[in-house]
Amino acid sequence: MGRGHPEAPGRLKAIEQGLDVVGIADRLDRREAPEAPLDAIKRVHDEFYVDELLAIAPTTGRVPIDGDTVLTPHTLAAARHAAGAGIAAVDAVLAGDAANAFCAVRPPGHHAEYARAMGFCFFNNIAIAAAHALAVGGLERVAILDFDVHHGNGTEDVFRHEPRVLFCSSYQNPLFPFTNDESVPGRLIKTPLRAGVGGSVFRRAVERDWLPALDEARPQLILVSAGFDAHRADPLADLNLEAEDFQWVTERITEAADRYCDGRIVSLLEGGYALDALAASAAVHVQTLLRAGER
């Protein structure tokens, strides 16, 4: 998105290195992300919004959407493959062709609303994957768990009136996108955390808010908006999680998935901008998914 922008290609290289450091780089079943069909994207986005983005995408230079969010000639191709990764992962997991999946994608998606790009996000990858699981996979109940440090306002916007989706999001507030903290029991669970909060408060909040909601919802698939920017080292926020906290929350998610849906999890990368912290945190997240898938 331009020199010095945190949402940069080095993030995916860092994750590759992190997987290597924990010794699982060669044990993963790797797949290329196909391009999402526009129909699948338009299940959760306004069709005029999608067509407008396609129309204004530049062939050279950059088109700013907001102060942080910029279209380059390659952005929408990447965004369509990012959305396609989630769809392909849902298909693989529902078919029993994979126990679970992690999608190392850019750009992220959870800030993209029904008709608005914002916060580095254009297409809401996790919402597109969830809508695909409902519409094509025939599921009746899915859960989206979002531990990115920023609230998943886009995901909330898309599924605000969708009773088949439970959306749980932990986030620092006040912080972009400055959401309100009002939960809707059984459907929309918001877990705001104050600046400076560390792993023990985060863990208690997840146990208090997410685990009972999952128990009530009994999802047939768990989708994860896996952002790692709540890490202590992240430059965009002020929570103090460590890689072990991401391992802990991933363990709780795999336990819930084992309990309700035969371990079916599709996780998509959202934020995480301190490269060493992102590498270590994403690596233990994937390592925990890999272990769970081998059980």
Query: Which residues are known catalytic residues?
Result: 111
Cβ 141 vs Cβ 111: under 8 Å: no
C-alpha to C-alpha distance for 191 and 134, rounded to whole angstroms: 25
Span of 38-46, 70-78, 145-153, 165-173 interacting with Zn ion by CB under 5 A:
145-153
Residues 93-132, one symbol each (x = binds Zn ion by CB under 5 A, - = not), give ----------------------------------------
- Residue 220 backbone phi and psi in degrees, to 5: -90, -10
Span of 13-21, 137-145, 148-156, 283-291 interacting with Zn ion by CB under 5 A:
148-156
Three-state DSSP at 86 gives helix
Q: In the set 91, 156, 229, 245, which binds Zn ion (CB under 5 A)?
A: 229
Give the residue among 24, 76, 86 at the shortest CA–CA distance from 50.
76
Span of 120-128, 159-167, 229-237, 239-247 interacting with Zn ion by CB under 5 A:
229-237
Between 49 and 176, name the residue whose CB sits nearer to Zn ion: 176
Q: In the set 133, 243, 271, 277, which binds Zn ion (CB under 5 A)?
A: 271
The distance of closest approach from Cβ of residue 24 to Zn ion in the complex, given in angstroms and rounded to an integer, is 24
Cβ 3 vs Cβ 73: under 8 Å: no
Structure token digits, residue 112: 């993209």
Residues 26-55, one symbol each (x = binds Zn ion by CB under 5 A, - = not), give ------------------------------
Give the residue among 288, 286, 264 at the shortest CA–CA distance from 141.
264
The residue type of 257 is A
Told to check if 148 binds Zn ion by CB under 5 A, we report yes
C-alpha to C-alpha distance for 152 and 234, rounded to whole angstroms: 18
Told to check if 146 binds Zn ion by CB under 5 A, we report no
C-alpha to C-alpha distance for 154 and 158, rounded to whole angstroms: 6
The distance of closest approach from Cβ of residue 211 to Zn ion in the complex, given in angstroms and rounded to an integer, is 23
Binding site for Zn ion (CB under 5 A): 148, 150, 227, 229, 271
